[in-house]
Structure 1
């Protein structure tokens, strides 16, 4: 809250005459949501953040933390 269209509408109302609305998102890659920003008829849209190795590391760390409580312990083999 607000939605992206609501935020853009609100920003347009506050924009000075002749001003340019610029949208900077935190999207990681181009795709549907990035395309929708372009379709909102704003002055400029920032490129996606991209595949920064630190973001990839963070995603893997969080995924492992979320999955670890559900993993079964490894089977013990006696010889």
Structure 2
């Protein structure tokens, strides 16, 4: 495996991991904020905080990987 492929895989891995952390944290915080509101909506009660956090983590994973691929593609177009 070439050096460029290793860099690309490392970029995708790091961006995906960052996306998982940010997405999970944001979803968990939103869940807690929703439950602590003065008026708890039906939307808050339909989905568990853990399921919402996992959904946020999955979204972050896809967003991070997409960002890494886009950055790599843009870098290849410019150079």
Q: Same fold (TM over 0.5)?
A: no
Higher RCO structure (Cα 8 Å, ≥6 apart): 2
Larger strand proportion of the pair = 1
Which TM-score applies when normalising by structure 1? 0.28
Larger helix proportion of the pair = 2
Which TM-score applies when normalising by structure 2? 0.28
